[in-house]
Amino acid sequence: MMETVNVAIVYYSATGTVHALARAAAEGAEKAGADVRLRKVAEPAPPEVIDTRPEWAEHVRDTADVPVATVDDLAWADAVLFGTPTRFGNPASPLRAFIEAAGPLWFQGKLADKVYSAFTASNTAHGGQESTILALANTFYHWGGIIVPPGYTDPIQFQSGNPYGASHVAGEGPVSEVALQSARHQARRVTETAAAFKTGRAA
């Protein structure tokens, strides 16, 4: 019998794009049978900065009920999907701050042997989605993680065109159904891989 897996979806989103992908990933993982924790990382920006952009302030209000991620969520998880906007070709600093707070957990070896995957959004098609996801993968290597990208393992991936992770070009408009389906597929694949690994280890 397949083991039930714990999947944490840990994301940062200022204006909702990555949040929409994170929700789709949560749906995909749940449908694949996982216990899911959808968690935003703490917003470090002060209210007066957030209020300079109405869409940012609105998103903060709309997601007030999403629990803030803690390192315990990483310890709990068998698999973690990280979501972040591309910022100057890299993951956003609030997500990096969360990851760096996990140093003690890493030191205890508690981040190894988990499945990791990442998704992102950028404003332009060549604005750094791949570099952002690959930058997160650097950390997964340090943790001794099992990196599971979506690749071209489902027909939706030939439409999304991004084998590194689900992604959306925010400058082209609202999050597309293709990007959402890609996020669902990615999370399903992560869940199934983690379940097979966990089941194999328990045998």
4 binds ligand FMN (CB under 6 A): no
33 binds ligand FMN (CB under 6 A): no
- Residue 119: C-alpha distances to residues 53, 57, 103, 183 (Å): 24, 23, 22, 8
Site string for ligand FMN, 72-91 (x = CB under 6 A): -------------xxxxx--
Q: Which of 7, 8, 16, 190 binds ligand FMN (CB under 6 A)?
A: 16
Q: How far is the CB of 13 from ligand FMN (least distance, A)?
A: 3
Parallel, antiparallel or unpaired: strands 90-91 and 79-87: antiparallel
Parallel, antiparallel or unpaired: strands 79-87 and 35-40: unpaired
Q: Pick from 139, 185, 147: which is nearest to 166 by CA? A: 185
Q: How far is the CB of 134 from ligand FMN (least distance, A)?
A: 14
Q: Which of 31, 72, 124, 144 binds ligand FMN (CB under 6 A)?
A: 124
- 122 or 157: CB nearest ligand FMN: 122
Following DSSP, what letter does each residue of 129-153 receive, concatenated? HHHHHHHHHHHHHHHT-EE---TT-
In the complex, which residues of this chain contact ligand FMN (CB under 6 A)?
Answer: 13-19, 85-89, 121-124, 127-128, 170
